Chain A
């Protein structure tokens, strides 16, 4: 009886030491979960989720202060990826935070622009070029379509234009084939 107790205690001590050493030796610096969540988010920096940017939203998710279904630009795919990463249930997009829209970029109507720099201060990725009393223009490649520049403009000269399909960005579609009339009816 005594021997069995001693054996178990001995094993517990050994395992405890091993675990303790591993906890110190293999300790992970920082909280990588925030970075992982942030790498899934689309980086539009639009604020539709209710947080001032994607990194704050990622932090809020990690702290449990926000739900995973608040990001319209990420769409359903983004919610699925977040659900997989965090091991939680998938939820459909919360309509309070907006609807998914086709990817667009902003364009300034140069005839109307008065050079007030209010939009430059609003852009979260510095995609607007210009300075006071000089023409402003949007660098199309850097624009994320967040629409934060539309409200500040006093003369309403900024428009959102959807990126249309052209020969350069065209891609093959998911193949759908019909077997016969039943599936034709179902597909339509």
Chain B
């Protein structure tokens, strides 16, 4: 590890109680097979996966049951062997609480894998590797669920990337899944980093980690002692240092604006769990079928679990001993950016990194919301250096164009502004509302443009048809001019004369 690496500092951010000790006392637990597996088709950013199975099919563990639809999509694999028993709308972990299409598998208990084949990526070339990754179902496991093959796709141009950053920061309070992964699977992780390093053909790999993860830091430092190209850089524990662009700024001092990707600046970033998933797919041919989830908060024995996708959450909460103080509020994600689950009858999905059973301090009657006093503490806390108070005033008064002008879409919805607001205004809710409205307006505007074009085309088509009909009529009328008329009359006369002759001949015959 290089000492005295300069660590930059982004504006704002907050220091909250990390509450990580709750779930790090015990090692990661693997539960026996669940009684049913419910896999939503929507677990990633992009289009829904396309079904490849039907009710009644028998599937093996790791079998492709829904393929990616286009490039911005990801595949879904069966988490265990069994039979497809239902394909219908079920409750999914989504803030709306609305149901969506899910595949239900009834496990047969044998947990039989498909034939796993390692990928000889050196021989088959990067393009073929990307095609295979499209079928691996790997998405960003830090919570964003962005299809990973797209990130490895960008690096096709040789020499375009020079740094791989491994995001081990895990800045949100309560979440410890990456921390436990680094403690228990250190060797595999380092192998994974080396593999991705080679695939991307970068010059250096940097692991960015927060300073409160002392155990993980020790394990990793020990594991990378002999590695020349991998270094560990420790950043101070400030939320949100784990946000991609903030972490790149902390480690490299480069500020990446909205609309640009980090690959434009020669940097690619992956979460530690994603790197492990890539490693297991390429080295062992295992598609993405499980992840580590932190189950924490107001529970009798909170800890981390390694869970198959589609495991019903209720079983896990029961395994963790159930709630100490009963309430029906479970939060998916961290306390800063997460949302309340509609119920715990939802399956584990690829973006589920943490479930917090809410503690009394979170659900007690919150302090009342006062008007904004223009203190600008939110602007001091914003890591993107926005002016949240201006965005709030515009979103509240629904002046959406002004909100967009003041860079509403740069907002990463981290929640720092709402955290520090002395008037307890739920600022992030206003920004989410304004963003949804603007996106819907844009969508409607595009639809209206298409409708206008279709209408204009239809009017033109009707005009065209009218013109053609008029031309044909004119042609027909023009055809019956005098010479043509006499020609027609002559022909008709000839035909009548011929017919009369025929009749005469027949008459003569009969006589």
Q: Is the CB of B451 within 8 A of A45?
A: yes
Looking at chain B, what size class is its interface with the partner chain? 20 to 34
Asked whether, in the complex, the Cβ of A179 is within 8 Å of the Cβ of B368, the reply is yes
A175 and B437: CB pair below 8 A? no
Complex CA–CA separation, A177 to B426 (angstroms): 9
Q: How far, in angstroms, from A124 to B461 measured CA to CA in the complex? A: 12
Chain B residues lying within 8 Å of A171, measured Cβ to Cβ, are 433, 436-437, 439-440
B458 contacts A126, C-beta separation under 8 Å: yes
Are the C-beta atoms of B96 and A167 separated by less than 8 Å?
A: yes
Count residues on chain A whose CB falls below 8 Å from chain B CBs. Answer: 29
Chain A 7-47 residues near chain B, CB threshold 8 A: 38, 41-45
Cross-chain contact of B92 among A44, A125, A167, A180 (Cβ < 8 A)? A167
The total of interchain contacts (Cβ-Cβ below 8 angstroms) comes to 74
Segment 47-100 of A: residues with Cβ below 8 Å from B = 53-55
Tell which of A43, A172, A175 touches B455, judged by Cβ atoms closer than 8 Å.
A43
Query: Assuming A167-B92, A170-B98, A177-B426, is B433 touching A125 (CB within 8 A)?
Result: no
How far, in whole Å, are A145 and B373 apart by their CA atoms in the complex? 45
Chain B residues contacting A125 (CB-CB under 8 Å) are 451, 454-455, 458
Question: Which chain B residues (56-93) contact chain A, with CB distance < 8 Å?
Answer: 92
State whether the Cβ of B429 lies closer than 8 Å to any Cβ in chain A: yes
Asked if B98 contacts A167 (CB within 8 A), the reply is yes
- A69 to B472 Cα, complex, angstroms: 44
Task: Answer yes or no: B284 CB below 8 A from chain A CBs.
Answer: no
- Cβ–Cβ contact B368 & A172, under 8 A: no
Q: Is the CB of A167 within 8 A of B449?
A: no
A3 at the interface (CB under 8 A from B): no
Contact B458 A179 (CB under 8 A): no
Give CA–CA (A166, B91) in the complex, Å. 12
CA distance A25 to B197 in the complex (A): 61
Q: How far is the CA of A172 from the CA of B339 in the complex (A)?
A: 12
Contacts of B458 in A (CB 8 A): 123-126
Report B-chain residues with C-beta under 8 Å of the C-beta of A135: none
Q: Assess whether B457 is interfacial by the CB under 8 Å rule.
A: yes
In the bound complex, how far is the Cα of B168 from the Cα of A67, in angstroms?
61
Q: Please give me the residue from chain A that is nearest to B370 by CB atom.
A: A179
CA distance A174 to B444 in the complex (A): 19
Which of B's residues lie within 8 Å of A, judged by CB? 42, 92, 94-96, 98-100, 368-369, 398, 426, 429-430, 432-433, 435-437, 439-440, 444, 447-452, 454-458, 461
Which residues in A have some Cβ–Cβ distance to B below 8 Å?
A: 38, 41-45, 53-55, 123-127, 142, 144, 165-168, 170-175, 177, 179-180
* Interface pairs (12), CB distance under 8 Å: A38-B452, A43-B447, A43-B451, A55-B452, A124-B458, A126-B461, A168-B42, A170-B98, A171-B433, A171-B440, A172-B95, A180-B368
> Which 3 interchain pairs have the tightest Cβ spacing?
A171-B436, A43-B448, A125-B454
